[in-house]
Chains A and B, each alone.
Chain A
């Protein structure tokens, strides 16, 4: 069998592209070069040459295997070439952005004109009945204390503009690098010698240095289940500005955990929300906080993402899962993170006590428990982070 390999390369690349795996001309060219270098005789040789040159990350492997199996249908099962699959790898309940296995959201991708659910018109009308004090405040000032759940869409848009200006100020940690410092820091012999070159090799002036400080990483984990629906719009804005301004990591969960950092980075808030809606298939679903945190700990936290970080959980603590799982995972997170802040919008309601199973289980491991139900309360959240 001597098929025209160049044609095979081109056709296969086009199919991968059509299936959603981006094959740049650069990579296709590399594949062609590799095939010329070691002409494949068996299908498995062809498979490996293609995989090594065309795939850019692990998340693309499943899609690649599927397309490969399609093209060479029945001839081969790509799984044969591989060893033991890593069991814990794509942790259950977690979708990776761009992973083909993750079910796309059925039906319309963007209800209400490219927006996400959560912006219901259902609460309009209530806003007219403000008490006299808030009526005297400027519109912005009044908005600051308004519960997110009771805003009209127009007001919510305004709140989003305000929230976009929020910036996280995570506490610093000691970095490994050192920077120049004034007296009484440690002496920098190397810099002193360098400086001595200006004075003919005599070290007249001593240089000093000290460790630099860098802001800690911030991890934002937002509950997007049904019970949080009225808050998610505003909170997502916080995620967007956190990722954009402070390089925070963003995750959302209802029944499963979705990493949104890349989806939210580098685009305007509306586009970010629209992309986020496509990635997380479980908007307004039920809540399994414990399992979502487990997916986070297994897949991200333990690898180093949560180590020494400030973790902010935005959730009302309504958990349909096992509170014991939540307690265990909070304990694990506690051991990794520098600080855990939990923002629960229900906390502001008069008479609220954290006795729901999930919240009660999580609370012992939380450093700061705040409400975060309005813009003013979000300030409190930011303060708790700093």
Chain B
């Protein structure tokens, strides 16, 4: 079975691999993912919403042909939801069954692996291989800061501890990717354990290439037009600058409406795909949809 090192011998090989699975990576993100997989070291990805943070982790899993295990963080997430939980109903059934059949059931049996419900972190650690799983801890800034401390053992030692069972070490330490939208500062202790990569918006050509890749039906001129229009929208003082995801949605909307070209009226009709605030819409309408579409 091919190992990770054989699959991605260099950052440029990873870049080509990502390209094959439909993720157009620049040198920076390819290097970051390469280091995360090969050092190996957890990687913290930050960037504006819609620049493809989550997509990067998914694509890495696709390149390595290994499962992606995703933990979506939210406020109040705790060990029972992230790591493991004892399967109480099953334990009770076992007690009842042993009573009925007159067998004796030791506590040791009852707290065995069979009665454990594995949540994402445990599943990532227990992944049997042959290659490590990709563990995506999404929007870690949404979780409480106490939860960060709870991740340290996993990030540092690639192991988790269950009091009744002991410490479980990963045979194939997962490749960990954390993403954050920076709603709050992450703790230094967490940052210290991670590589860091900040994803910028892709430039116009790359945006156009990404659109072409994701919406094969779109014509090349249309992709280029939308990429430029999105870049122009970002230059305005909008509250939520449109990202790549919005650009793709915009092209999809234009395609659906049978508009093969982005001009003023077409842009005005489909602004709902890119502008998500009324204030932004007003600002852009003031500047004129024709300017957005063509730059003049």
Contact = CB atoms under 8 A, between A and B. Distances in A.
Contacts of A85: 200-201
Contact of A55 (B26, B92, B196, B279): B196
A251 to B, nearest CB: 13
- Which of A57, A177, A298 has the most B CB atoms < 10 Å from its CB? A57
Contact of A26 (B26, B95, B192): B192
Interface stretch (A106-114, A238-246, A302-310, A362-370): A302-310
A33 interface: yes
Interface in A6-36: 24, 26, 30, 33-34
Given A24-B192, A52-B195, A83 B202 contact: yes
Interface residues of A, number: 47
Contacts of B182: 58, 303
Given A30-B41, A190-B88, A177 B202 contact: no
Interface residues of B, number: 54
Contacts, number: 126
A57 B11 contact: no
Interface string B87-112: 01101100110010000000000000
A13 to B, nearest CB: 15
Contact of A176 (B31, B34, B74, B197): B74
A362 B201 CA distance: 35
Given A56-B196, A61-B198, A49 B231 contact: no
B200 A86 contact: yes
Interface string A201-221: 100000000000000000000
A133 interface: no
Given A84-B234, A86-B48, A86-B201, A303 B32 contact: no
A48 interface: yes
A89 B201 CA distance: 11
A38 B5 CA distance: 11
A176 B95 CA distance: 32
B27 interface: yes
A56 B88 contact: no
A86 B32 contact: no
A262 B185 contact: yes
B264 interface: no
Contacts of A45: 11, 27, 31
A184 interface: no
A82 B239 contact: no
Contact of A52 (B31, B48, B181, B200): B31
A96 B213 CA distance: 37
A298 B39 contact: no
Interface string B24-58: 00111001101100110101001110000000000
A75 interface: no
14 contacts: A30-B39, A45-B11, A84-B234, A86-B200, A88-B237, A175-B76, A176-B74, A176-B76, A193-B89, A197-B95, A297-B239, A303-B182, A304-B183, A332-B279
10 closest pairs, A vs B, by CB? Answer: A176-B76, A304-B183, A48-B31, A177-B76, A84-B201, A83-B200, A52-B32, A83-B203, A193-B88, A83-B202
